[in-house]
Amino acid sequence: MSGAASEEPSGSGRRRAFWLSGRGLVSSIPYLWLLLFFLLPFAIVLKISLAEPIIAQPPFTPLFGPDGSLQATIDNFLFLLEDSLYIVAYLNSLKIAGISTLLCLLIGYPMAYGIARSPRAIRNILLLLVILPFWTSFLLRVYAWMGILRNNGLINNLLMWLGVIDQPIQMMNSDFAIYIGITYSYLPFMILPLYAALERLSPDLVEAAEDLGCRPWKAFLTITLPLSVPGIIAGSLLVFIPAVGEFVIPSLLGGPDSLMIGRVLWDEFFGNRDWPVASAVAIALLLVLVIPIMLFQRMNLRREGA
Partner 1 sequence: MNSTATAAPRTSTSMTKWRKPDEVPFLRLEGVVKRFGDFAAVDGVSLDIYRKELFCLLGGSGCGKTTLLRMLAGFEQPTAGRIYLDGADITEAPPYERPINMMFQSYALFPHMSVESNVAFGLKQDGVARVEIRRRVAEALELVQLGPLAKRRPHQLSGGQRQRVALARCLVKRPKLLLLDEPLAALDKKLREHTQFELMNIQEEVGITFIVVTHDQEEAMSLSTRIAVMDRGQIAQVGTPTEIYEYPKSRFTANFIGSINFFDGKVARSEEGELTVTVPDLGRDLHVRSTRQLAIGSDVSVAVRPEKIVISRDPLDLPNSVRGKVRDLGYLGSVSVYRVELENGALIKVSAANTRHSAEREVDWDDEVYLGWRATSAVVLTE
Partner 2 sequence: MRRRNWFLFSALCFGFAFLYGPILSLIVYSFNESRLVTVWSGFSTRWYGELFRDPQIIDAALLSLRIAAVNATFAVALGTLAGLAVARFGRFRGRTLFTGMIAAPLVMPEVITGLSLLLLFVTLEAAVGWPSGRGVTTITIAHITFSMAYVAVIVQSRLSTMDASVEEAALDLGARPWKVFLVITLPIIAPALVAGWLLAFTLSLDDLVIASFVSGPGASTLPMVVFSKVRLGVSPDVNALATIIVGVVTLAVIVSGWLMIRSERRRERDVQAALADRS
Minimum CB separation of residue 28 from partner 2 in Å reads: 9
| CA dist., res. 280 & res. 80, Å (int) | 8
The amino acid that residue 161 corresponds to is W
Task: Return the bridge partners of 60, or none.
Answer: 53
119 binds partner 1 (CB under 8 A): no
Spell out, one character per residue from 157 to 196, where the chain touches partner 1: x when CB under 8 A holds, - when not: ----------------------------------------
Residue 33 touches partner 2, criterion: CB under 8 A: yes
Contact 155, 176 (CB under 8 A): no
Which 6-25 positions form the footprint of partner 1 (CB under 8 A)? 6-10
With both helix axes pointing from N to C terminus, report the angle between 175-200 and 84-117 in degrees, rounded to the nearest 10: 40
3-state secondary structure 245-272: CCCHHHHHHCCCCCCCHHHHHHHHHHHC
Q: CA-based angle 197:201:202, to the nearest 5?
A: 160
The rounded distance, in Å, linking the Cα atoms of 40 and 63 is 15
Of 68-76, 78-86, 136-144, 163-171, the segment contacting partner 2 by CB under 8 A is 136-144
Q: Are 286 and 42 in contact (CB under 8 A)?
A: yes
Tell me how far, at minimum, the Cβ of 301 lies from partner 1, in Å: 19
Instruction: Work out what residue 10 binds among partner 2, partner 1, none; the CB cut-off runs from 5 to 8 Å by kind.
Output: partner 1
Q: Which does 196 bind (CB under 5 to 8 A by kind): partner 1, partner 2, none?
A: none
Binding site partner of 227, from partner 1, partner 2, none, Cβ cut-off 5-8 A by kind: none
Q: From the list partner 1, partner 2, none, which binds 35 (C-beta under 5 to 8 Å, kind-based)?
A: partner 2
Contacts with 13 (C-beta within 8 Å, 6 or more apart), sequence order: none
- Scanning 2-10, 113-121, 262-270, 298-306 for contacts with partner 1 by CB under 8 A, the matching segment is 2-10
Interactions with partner 2, residue window 45-104 (CB under 8 A): 45, 48, 58
How many residues sit close enough to partner 2 to count as binding (CB under 8 A)?
A: 99
d(CA 115, CA 198): 9
Residue 44 sits in the site that holds partner 2 (CB under 8 A): yes
Q: Is 202 in the site for partner 2 (CB under 8 A)?
A: no
Q: Which of 135, 162, 166, 204 binds partner 2 (CB under 8 A)?
A: 135
CB 134 within 8 A of CB 190: no
Select from 227, 244, 22 the least CA-distant residue to 113.
227
> Side chain identity at 44, as an amino acid letter?
I
Q: Which does 164 bind (CB under 5 to 8 A by kind): partner 1, partner 2, none?
A: none
Residue of the chain from 5, 29, 39, 287 that contacts partner 1 (CB under 8 A): 5
Least distance from partner 2 to the Cβ atom of residue 67, Å: 19
> How far is the C-alpha of 263 from the C-alpha of 254, rounded, in Å?
10
Contacts to partner 2 from residues 215-274, by CB under 8 A: 216, 237-238, 241-242, 244-248, 251-252, 262, 265-266, 269
168 contacts 152 by C-beta, under 8 angstroms:
yes
Q: Which residue ranges make up the site for partner 1 (CB under 8 A)? A: 3-10
